[in-house]
Amino acid sequence: MAGSVPFAGLLGLLLVSALPGVLGDRPSPDLRAHPGGHAQVGPEATEPRRRSPPKDQREWARAGALPLGALYTAAVVAFVLYKCLQGKDEAAVLQEEEGKKESSQSEQQLAHLTQQLAQTEQHLNNLMAQLDPLFERPARASEYEASDHPPAVARQQAKQGCGRSRTSVEDLPREDPPGDEDPPGEQDPSGMKTEPGKEDSLKLEDLPTVEAPRDPQGSQNNDYRHNKGDDHSHWRYGGDPPWPQVSPACAGRFQSPVDIRPELAAFCRALQPPELLGFELPKLPELRLRNNGHTVQLTLPPGLEMALGPGREYRALQLHLHWGAAGRPGSEHTVDGHRFPAEIHVVHLSTAFAKVDEALGRPGGLAVLAAFLQEGPEENSAYEQLLSHLEEITEEDSETWVPGLDVSALLPSDLSRYFRYEGSLTTPPCAQGVIWTVFNQTVRLSAKQLHTLSGSLWGPDDSQLQLNFRARQPLNGRIIEASFLTGTESSPRTVEPVHLNSCLAAGDILALVFGLLFAVTSIAFLVQMRRQQRFRSGTKGNVSYHPAEVTETVA
């Protein structure tokens, strides 16, 4: 519409310029009166007398034509200047778009090179895993070497262009050695100390808080020890014997938990939010809540389905928690070396396997949803449905039955932002190949609820069940993926937007103004033309003819 404005302005200018000629003075013939009593008959005697236009109409035409013409001229000049300035803005916008395209192409090339580097490193990891038994490991390593496979997640996502080798063991010089456990009441290893009260300021990529009662979950698979068995009685947190003696897989290269460094995580666009189905359980049938001496575990019924993507479907088995003690945070995973007060795990079994034993040690056989619990000002009603029953299972190996609940209410409200890596179960048998999803959003519990969690249960040898978390394990070249942009390098740049909409709006306004002026001028022109026609037709009716009288004079 704005493109027709110059034409409308020029046309209006021509019309207004023509008004003086149309509305100006025009000659008005008149009947000539002959002096004396009698006039001579001639051709002029029959010419009609016409009235001249009123003086006020002529003055209005002269006075109105010049301002309208000047107004149109100024409007056209202003619009031409505006289009020139807008042309400069459009050129700047086009130049900026070209710069963005070049930058995008450079980023794609860099991502391609990074992908190639990641694949190369994966090949090196495979080679190292094959050479380790020959040079470094004792003879017993052959018992669990089969589980030391390169991470399936890294291999699969490297094919998708997601993996970038940015997080390695060299990046984490302060990690614990494999199999080293944190005894109850003992501080974290040197260089990784977590001060009391600092967990609320931890930096999980500027962790948002959740006011609603929701929290993520993820856990190792404890279905293999629903009952107190041999494995259960032969290991404990911070005690003898060392876990690799209980299960050789606990000394594997790809163990969990790990320290998450958001600024080093590799962004992967292919990661989609986990899909949950059937997590809203009715009150009946009731669920079994059990103190197994290591944690509190809620057994989940069949029908809770979870999908990590096409062809990667799982069913939920159980959920459990890990916590610390008074003034001591107890999450298993850490963020930049910091622990949270507690952590919840929901364990899932791949639908490709019928039993847990078949999935142990198989890449992607188990999947865990994990989230951090943090102190908040209000009570979490979803977690209260579990915590209110802890007084019924204070003793080791005791259990109770609780009404069904909405398990999805324990999850964070934002399931789209998370970290993904391949690790292991965090308790014996420490089977590897577990797909971990650690959510970026925390869940808040009141201080009273956290105190109830850490101070209500008792474990082996009549000891209070506290600090039930495993020490951090080295990444050993594994890649931690992120479903969102993290850190400084991969964070989106802030670019000032070009307000093209406002420019278009200004052009539309000018076009409307010019159009209205043209319409008003056209209407005025037509009205004046109509009046002029009426005036001309009126003069014809007022013509009077006076026949000449011939008088003969007798000499």
pLDDT at residue 143, rounded to an integer: 40
pLDDT digits (tens, 9 = 90+) for 340-387: 999 999 999 999 999 999 999 999 999 999 999 999 999 999 999 999
CA–CA distance, 101 with 189 (Å, rounded to integer) = 48
H, E, C per residue of 205-245: CCCCCCCCCCCCCCCCCCHHHCCCCHHHHCCCCCCCCCHHH
In a domain, 336, yes or no: yes
In a domain, 384, yes or no: yes
Average pLDDT over residues 241-256: 95
CATH number for the domain including 305?
Answer: 3.10.200.10
In a domain, 284, yes or no: yes
pTM over 0.95: no
pLDDT > 50? residue 150: no
| Domain closes at, from 452, 482, 512 | 482
CA-based angle 124:128:133, to the nearest 5? 165
| Domain closes at, from 119, 134, 151 | 119
Exposure of 211 in the CB half-sphere (CA atoms within 13 A)? 0
Average pLDDT over residues 453-468: 95
Choice between 392 and 522, residue whose per-residue pLDDT is larger: 392
Q: Token pair of 164, please?
A: 């970038």
pLDDT bracket for residue 526 (50, 70, 90): confident
In a domain, 267, yes or no: yes
In a domain, 429, yes or no: yes
One-letter amino acid of 548: A
The total of other beta-carbon atoms located within 10 Å of residue 313's CB is: 17
- Domain range for 111: 77-119
The total of other beta-carbon atoms located within 10 Å of residue 47's CB is: 14
Average pLDDT over residues 290-302: 97
CA–CA distance, 237 with 179 (Å, rounded to integer) = 11
Sequence-separated (6 or more) residues with CB below 8 Å from residue 135: none
What are the distances in angstroms from CA 326 to CA 185, 334, 392, 448, 452? Answer: 10, 18, 21, 11, 10
Task: Report the chain's mean pLDDT, rounded to a whole number.
Answer: 73
The catalytic residue positions are 294
CA–CA distance, 338 with 199 (Å, rounded to integer) = 7
In a domain, 331, yes or no: yes
pLDDT bracket for residue 67 (50, 70, 90): low
For residue 105, the surrounding DSSP H or E stretch is: helix 55-135
Percent of all residues in the chain with a pLDDT value above 70, rounded to a whole number: 54
Number of structural domains found in the chain:
2
pLDDT at residue 95, rounded to an integer: 75
One-letter amino acid of 529: M
Using alpha carbons, select from 485, 553, 529, 396 the residue that is nearest to residue 61.
529
pLDDT at residue 503, rounded to an integer: 40
pLDDT digits (tens, 9 = 90+) for 85-119: 666 566 676 777 777 777 767 776 776 676 667 66
| Domain closes at, from 60, 88, 119 | 119
Q: Token pair of 541, please?
A: 């009716």
3-state secondary structure of 398: strand
pLDDT bracket for residue 186 (50, 70, 90): very low
Average pLDDT over residues 299-328: 97
**Phi-psi group of 176: left, alpha or beta (phi > 0 → left; psi -120 to 50 → alpha; rest → beta):** beta
CA–CA distance, 459 with 188 (Å, rounded to integer) = 22
pLDDT at residue 540, rounded to an integer: 54
Choice between 539 and 72, residue whose per-residue pLDDT is larger: 72
DSSP assignments along 440-497, one per residue: SS-EEEEHHHHHHHHHS-B-GGG-B-----PPP---TT---EESS--TTTSSPP--PP
| 177: preceding bond cis by omega (within 30 degrees) | no
Using alpha carbons, select from 554, 510, 479, 437 the residue that is nearest to residue 267.
479
CA–CA distance, 15 with 18 (Å, rounded to integer) = 5
CA–CA distance, 375 with 397 (Å, rounded to integer) = 28
What are the distances in angstroms from CA 313 to CA 207, 275, 421? Answer: 28, 9, 17
In a domain, 265, yes or no: yes
pLDDT > 70? residue 256: yes
In a domain, 348, yes or no: yes
CA–CA distance, 422 with 31 (Å, rounded to integer) = 113
Taken as a whole, the chain contains a residue count of 555
CA–CA distance, 288 with 294 (Å, rounded to integer) = 16
**Are 311 and 446 found together in one domain?**
yes
